[in-house]
Structure 1
Amino acid sequence: MATKQATMNNGLVYYYGHIQNNDKVVGWVYKGALKQSNMAAFGDSITKGWTGVDYATNPYPALIGSAMGINVVNKGENSGKVVGDTNLDLTYNVDHTKLASYDYATVAYGVNDYFKTETIYSVEETLDRELTAMKKSQP
């Protein structure tokens, strides 16, 4: 949180402040270095916020965003799987998300694969392929 602002003779703007939830980390930072971070949360109904009874007011991706002070786009889908070919699944969502727009991403699927996939090998293979694709698009 910024508490002071200073403009240098050359026009550069600096802010003095502390890290959210940690008043011991303080200092000056150049305005140009400040950027709102973004996170994509890929996953199934648990990521979306399903508790088993109803939907959570604050699913875990929202809690992460609040704790870290970042924007989160929750891409959790009911019945989403690692291995699958629908718009609910990991491959589709990785292919249709501009990953360069995000600084962080989480991937949390698995429950639906456990109940609906022939082999753990197919889950491992697909997950490896999609994580590799994510790394290539956002090093």
Structure 2
Amino acid sequence: MHPWLLAAIGGVLIGLAAVVLMAALGRIAGISGIASGLLAGAAAGDRGWRVAFVAGLVAAPLLLLLVRGDSGIGSPQVAWPWMVAAGLLVGFGTRLGGGCTSGHGVCGMARLSPRSLLATVVFIVFGVITVYVTRHLFGGLAA
């Protein structure tokens, strides 16, 4: 299957998951909020759907591995210390911004939220800066 087709299918599934979660539970499909609620000890009635959502995130590449023989994730492009630093910065940023790209970029933009529009612009700008710095100033930070 061509990579662009997989990306298109993935995009449709993300949108569908966001719509179903909003329609069924009135919740926003923001991964950072779902995961933090799960880790922070969400109420008993709120825990099941969070576990199912996170399990789906983990199961999807495993299912793709079964079907295609490749998870679609690829190998790391940078060394582990850089990945750990990036993960910590992303965690800090999602806390500071009150959400992540899925919450703001997918759900917030669909709801025409001005806060989410600003957050998404900030995500994109810093993503472009990060790619430029890592690829051109630091020589790729190869793994």
The two structures share one fold, judged by TM-score above 0.5: no
- Greater Rg over alpha carbons, structure: 1
Q: Which has the higher contact order (CA 8 A, sep 6+)?
A: 2
Under a length normalisation based on structure 2, what TM-score does the superposition of the two structures give?
Answer: 0.28
| Greater fraction of residues in strand | 1
Q: Which has the higher helix share?
A: 2
Normalised by the size of structure 1, how large is the TM-score? 0.29
